[in-house]
Every structure is written in C-alpha cells, then in structure tokens.
Amino acid sequence: MINISISRNNRGQIYGFTAHNHGKDIVCAAVSALVLNTVNSIETFTEEAMSVETPDEDIGYIKLYLPDIEAGDDNRDVDLLLSSMLLGLTHIQKQYPSQVSIHDHINI
C-alpha cells in the first residue's frame, strides 16, 4: 500500500508531505509522477525554501518540507501546486482504495 501523509499548519496550508511504499505497478507510477512533478514544479517555478529527502529510491520514499509555510508564510503558487497534487492523489485513492492511503494532518 502507498502511504501518503500530508502536513498542514494551523491555517490549513500544506507545508509538507511524505509518500512511501511505492511498488512497480501503474498506480505507483501515477503517484510518483504527481509527487515528483509537484516537487520539481515548486523548485522550478517558485523561490520557496524547501527540503527534500529521498534516502532510498528502492523503497519509494520521498519527504518534502517547507519551513516558511509551516511558520505561516503565504505562497499562493506553492499552495496551488500542492493542492493540485492532493486533488490528483485523492482521485487515485478513490479509484484504488486498497492501494493508496492518504492521511491529512493539521497542526493546532
């Protein structure tokens, strides 16, 4: 099962996520494409400070962390990119509920 954890600040803005346990099937490829495209788009099209961890590609783990957004800064471009990623992941989860699990957490 692909596990995705979304982290939000107290204003509801996504400031990070982890995705892990990717396999080799079409569902995993779709999730990977959405996640990697989002990370690459934030890096290319915004100037947002971020940290990305991919310690072992064989286990399919990626973690994105945006410290300024966690602290409450606004970045509409980043918000749009992350919301778009979550929309796509949610649609995949609805089609393949036994293969994708999304946990959305708000820090209070």
- Per DSSP, 74 falls in state -
Structure confidence at residue 92 (pLDDT):
96
Q: How far apart are CA 93 and CA 88, in angstroms?
A: 9
Looking at the domain 2-106, which fold is it?
A: Alpha-Beta Plaits (3.30.70)
| Enclosing H/E stretch for 7 | strand 2-8
User: For the segment 7-29, what is each residue's pLDDT rounded down to a tens digit?
Assistant: 999 999 999 999 997 667 899 99
Q: How far apart are CA 38 and CA 42, in angstroms?
A: 6
> Residue written as tokens 């749009």?
80
User: For the segment 58-94, what is each residue's pLDDT rounded down to a tens digit?
Assistant: 778 999 999 999 999 999 999 999 999 999 999 999 9
Q: Is the pLDDT of residue 108 over 80?
A: no
